[in-house]
Amino acid sequence: MRRSTRSAARRAFARSAITALTALTALTPACGREAFDGRVYHAGRASFRVGPVPSSWERIDVEGAMLAYHDRASGGSIEVHAQCGRDADDVPLSALTNHLLIGFTEREVKLEQTLPFDGREARHTVVYAKLDGVPLALDAFVLKKDGCVYDLVFVVPPAQHEANADTFAKFAAGFSTSAE
């Protein structure tokens, strides 16, 4: 599987966020090119387990994301991006997180913390910002582990963030790179 660069993944995520929030295109179910049983995703070095996703969230195919879901009711999307073997071990978590925010304007940081996550430290950040003039809440965990960088990202209209943050928190809490 060809891995995109972090900037390509960020651009793909930005495109998907705008698409999801403005409903400009129809959502397409993922086509099953990878091994995923609903909880465990296998794709070479980037195998991982995720937490539960409510049945109202549908799996979608988003360029650059290994796994993605969308909820029509809240307008929210969850994506998991992974990149392995690109020498990211030397890049601080804060820099990797800031890279996700390139292109976002009028940023209001609601939360920035480093916390234990899957046996390592991860950066958890919540930012309310605009992307191409569209207000968004971006809730992200960035983790470096075993030569890979994992981005778990939840994007939703700001008015929907608080009511739906628990869904993303449960999804992220179930994340583990130990996919067995």
**Average confidence (pLDDT) over 76-91:** 86
Residue 163: Cβ-neighbour burial (10 angstroms; 0-12, 13-18, 19+): exposed
Output the pLDDT for position 87. Answer: 67
Question: For 44-68, what is each residue's pLDDT tens digit?
Answer: 778 899 999 999 999 999 999 999 9
Tell me how far apart the alpha carbons of residues 162 and 86 are, in angstroms, rounded to a whole number: 34
Tell me the domains of the chain and their CATH numbers. 6-26+38-173 (3.40.1000.10)
CA dist 176 and 180 (Å) reads 9
Say yes or no to pLDDT of 95 above 90.
yes
Is the model's pTM score more than 0.85? Answer: no
pLDDT score, position 48:
92
Average pLDDT over every residue of 5-15: 48
Query: What's the distance, CA 152 to chain centroid?
Result: 3
Q: What pLDDT band is residue 26 in, cutting at 50, 70 and 90?
A: very low
Averaged pLDDT for residues 130-136: 97
Under the banding of pLDDT at 50, 70 and 90, the label for residue 88 is low
Look at residue 6 and tell me whether its pLDDT is greater than 60.
Answer: no
Q: Which residues contact 87 (CB under 8 A, 6 or more apart)?
A: none
Average the pLDDT over 130-152 and give the result: 95
Using 50, 70 and 90 to split pLDDT, how confident is the model at 38?
confident
Amino acid 36: pLDDT: 87
More confident: 175 or 6:
175
Neighbours of 177 (CB within 10 A): 18
Q: Per-residue confidence at 9, pLDDT binned at 50, 70, 90?
A: very low
